Amino acid sequence: MHDDRHTVEERIAKFIAERLRPALHSDRVPLEVAAWHIPGEPVPVADALRAEYRPFITGGSWGGPWSTTWFRTTATIPERWAGRRVEALFDLGFDLSHGPGGQAEGLVHTADGTPLQGLHPHNRSVPLTPRAIGGESVCLLVEAAANPPIAGATGIGTHYGHRLTAGEEELYRLRRADLVVREEDVWQLLHDMEVLDELMRELPLGLPRRHEILRALQRAVDSVPPRRIAAGAAAAREILRPLLDRRAHDSAHTIAAVGHAHIGSGWLWPPRESVRKCARTFSSVAALAEEYPELVFACSSAQSYAWMRDHQPYVFERIKKAVADGNWAPVGGMWVEADGNLPGGEALARQLVHGRRFFSQELGVETDGVWLPGAFGCTAAYPQLAALAGARWFLTRKPSWHEAGRPPHHTFWWEGIDGTRIFTHSPPVDDNAGLSGAELAHAVARYADKGGSTRSLAPFGFGDGGGGPTREMLEKARRLADLEGSPRVRVGTPSDFFREAREEYPDAPVWRGELHLEPHRGTYTSQARTKRGNRRGEALLREAELWAATAAVRTGEPYPYETLDALWKQVLLHQIHDILPGISISWVHQQAEQTYRAIHRSLERIVAAAAGHPDPAEPLAVLNAAPHARREVVPLDEPPATGGPVQKLSDGRYAVLAQAPALGAAALGTGSADTADRPTVTARPADGGGYVLDNGALTVRIDADGLVRSAYDHACRREAIAPGGAGNLLQLHPDDPVRFSARNLDAQYRDAHRDLDTATAVRLEDEGPLLARVRVERTTGRSVVVQRLGLAAGSRILEVDTDIDWREEDTVLKAAWPLDVHAERAASEIQFGHVERPTHENTSWDAAR
């Protein structure tokens, strides 16, 4: 036989794309459209029901960036459509070359404002009736969101990142708004052919099965009249049926297909849009479950459910019904899918406590695992925290993105810093799979634990507001359940998958320590104000709870439970692995900074109210929230009335020596007036310029350019700065990664740098006896850096406060501190402990860490 394989394959692809898919809808009636434009923030559906609409022509433009347009669409189902499946079909101006989350979306409502389902680039049709009577009136309201096209993977900034800079130009055109008839035989043939075609293209050329599929598809194409596709579809299906009836091999890999749609709480859109994205996707999933009862949709993040409860109660009731029916699996047990490294230990614990509590109280579900497919690496403290929260399994996926040191397992026991182990799986496919033949073949080929395990998990569905699983995906899953040449695809719950995987693979290998993510190094530094706001919020929450509880026990002051609960949830929300890592648009981070300031003010008021109670006889008390006694120099805005040493600072404040017991309070001045060993610090000019700060514990020499040339530790009797080195050396490096400019810091950034080793001014601001500080000013030519290097009496820490007027682009600033230490590894603090990381680059794994 002549080898015409390529020609036949091209013909099959052309038939599917140019004949079969266009024939899916055989008849159409245009919807009459009227529009109501809202340039500002979204409004409730009640406002849309009362609004005055103006006629709108299909093909007309709509939607300035971040605006909303409500479309009212009406029509009558023709009598000739009696007995046919009728759908409404919309195209809001979708762009399939762009990700589904960064463009127009819509939520379809009934005439009375009840949400039906979302509209997304890959989910445009709204089923109205499986068997029309003919003559029915149709009225649908569409809330269309003009979210601008923002590409998350580029390094190019965009004016769309904030409503104030996005402009007013209308971005989209309503290309289509029709009632249509769906041809059922064409629908079924389309998926028969797509499944077989995709499978065929992944099979080895030497397998007979590949050629059998090719020739059967060729015969099916030949059997369908080009101008009468619907008439020939049923006969073509019969040609393909024998190939679809062939069962998978006994040794075939099993893929647990779990519906999924991760929606960031604020990424390329603000949190208010996340509320609407959840409503659209969740409505689509609830509607899909009614049509495909086998669907299981896994959804994490209690915050998303809380938004629906508070803003979309009808959608929330549909979710609860889907949970009760087994179509919806609340997973993860966390308030949001938090970043896996940056939150503090208590915050990660609260993520689990608040998440699990919500699922239990609101949905009656006790979640049994942690679901973090998109986290940028995971701390080694997680196994212990997850197990203590009641989790029996853990899912994450991003570590598979490694460039140099890809983890050797997909299914394994993960051991944390205390020895706790939790059964863990990292899916070998993306977390928004479409169940295509290429994806399934990739999953099987890449799965690293073949021979010990025969199953993996595939989260399928469009995320980021793309609507989640689709009808097309579920049609594929039905055909792939037991098909020769393909892995078995079984739609099910994550819990079922983990139970079966653990039973099959109880002796899975052990991975010890953190699940490091190599590429996204930049998330430790991006958006410093957001990170500072989070850390300050975490600290204040702990202090507020401590002192409010103390006041409640000692004085009967009411404990502000509801206020603290709400503030905790705001902090937890912003720990989503988009906002806290610093990869969101500017609008999101500006809102986050405003929110953090409000959180801090509220918590400071709670602390101040509680602080009035430890000892009412004292007008000013020192509170120590640390678990150890402290004696430190602290700044005050006003001079204290109590005894003890006081130093007026150059900034107008007053430095005092304070001490307090662990987790306790003491009157200011306690123990300071009569202490014989009261610490002091001195400052003197250094030879050759600069200054020497000395408090008896540390002696620090700062040169005329603000560089630390010596830091001598008297207790250890050794120099900390490496010979010939200089601490506090600011260095500018290029920051131009290949992808994800806000996330990635590619290793080659170290190949070039510029030292800021010349200061424009160095002067002594404070010279003791409680605090000595040197002010250093330097410039990059565009940016200005002001630093204060301070040494307090009795302290073993040189504090460096840095204020930067940053004007650089595509540049990263680093403070170099070459230490006189030789060690093969460094102990790095993490939540509730530490991990050791190599200081050398012997292997690619060492270099990556």
Instruction: Report the chain's C-alpha Rg in angstroms.
Output: 32
Residue with tokens 């050797």: 408
Both structure tokens of 704: 């005329």
pLDDT band at residue 94 using 50, 70 and 90 as cut-offs: very high
Extended beta strands in 419-462, E state: 421-425, 455-460
Question: Cα(44)–Cα(47) distance, rounded to whole angstroms?
Answer: 6
What is the pLDDT, as a whole number, of residue 614? 46
Residue 43 has pLDDT above 50, yes or no: yes
φ, ψ for residue 119, nearest 5 deg: -120, 130
Question: Cα(214)–Cα(1) distance, rounded to whole angstroms?
Answer: 14
Residue with tokens 């570590």: 399
Query: pTM of the predicted model, to two decimals?
Result: 0.95
Q: Does domain 526-611 have CATH number 1.20.1270.50?
A: yes
CB 423 within 8 A of CB 498: yes
What is the pLDDT, as a whole number, of residue 157? 66
Section 397-403 average pLDDT: 71
What is the pLDDT, as a whole number, of residue 747? 82
Residue 20 has pLDDT above 90, yes or no: yes
172-225 pLDDT, tens digit each? 999 999 999 999 999 999 999 999 999 999 999 999 999 999 999 999 999 999
pLDDT band at residue 304 using 50, 70 and 90 as cut-offs: very high
Question: Cα(840)–Cα(847) distance, rounded to whole angstroms?
Answer: 7
Residue with tokens 């944390």: 416
Q: Does domain 31-182 have CATH number 2.60.120?
A: yes
pLDDT band at residue 846 using 50, 70 and 90 as cut-offs: confident
Both structure tokens of 643: 């005894």
3-state secondary structure of 727: strand
Residue 3 has pLDDT above 90, yes or no: no
**Of 639, 632, 638, nearest to 672 (Cα)?**
632
Bridge partners (DSSP) of residue 119 are: 106
Residue 815 CB neighbour total at 10 angstroms: 13
How far CA 490 is from CA of 78, 126, 297, 479, 497, in Å, comes to 40, 26, 13, 10, 10
Q: Which CATH architecture has domain 254-514?
A: Alpha-Beta Barrel (3.20)
**Of 484, 465, 128, nearest to 285 (Cα)?**
465
DSSP class of residue 59 equals: T
What is the pLDDT, as a whole number, of residue 62? 98
Residue 613 has pLDDT above 60, yes or no: no
Section 824-830 average pLDDT: 94
530-582 pLDDT, tens digit each? 999 999 999 999 999 999 999 999 999 999 999 999 999 999 999 999 999 99
What is the pLDDT, as a whole number, of residue 444? 97
What is the pLDDT, as a whole number, of residue 598? 98
462-513 pLDDT, tens digit each? 999 889 999 999 999 999 999 999 999 999 999 999 999 999 999 999 999 9
Q: Where are the domains of the chain?
A: 5-20+185-244, 31-182, 254-514, 526-611, 631-678, 682-818
- Exposure on the CB side of residue 284, measured as CA atoms within 13 A: 30
Section 411-416 average pLDDT: 97
